[in-house]
Copies of this chain bind each other. A is one copy, B any other.
Amino acid sequence: MARAATTADAFNAVAEPRRRLILDVLASGERPVNDLVRELGLAQPQVSKHLRVLREVGAVEVREHGRQRLYRLNGPALKPIHDWVKSYESLWSERFDQLDVVLEELKQKEEGNGSDE
């Protein structure tokens, strides 16, 4: 077997940095292909190909407008990624670090009140 297809799910689609860049640009609003080509400095066929992958995992949607195709972001397709990674947030977040400190203090105090001494 080979690596899972890039179109297998959002995780695979988004592993390619240029596809993330495309999504980042689309976050500011609907765009025709050539806008992305200009903004990202990529060749047009590659942009079209990346957009196809993103479309297949539902991360973007298209609309026809004359000879242009207007692409727009479909955020919810990224939710599974967010859901998965969110459970690890406590491992680096400062807010959680501080919570750890508080819990540690409580523990110390608890021990200080121990039966003996």
Contacts and interface: CB of A to CB of B under 8 A. Distances in A.
Interface residues of A, number: 28
Contact of A92 (B12, B20, B75, B90): B75
A86 B24 CA distance: 12
A27 B75 contact: no
Given A75-B92, A76-B91, A91-B73, A84 B20 contact: yes
A6 interface: yes
A79 interface: yes
Contacts of A78: 85, 88, 91-92
A93 B82 CA distance: 11
Contacts of A87: 27
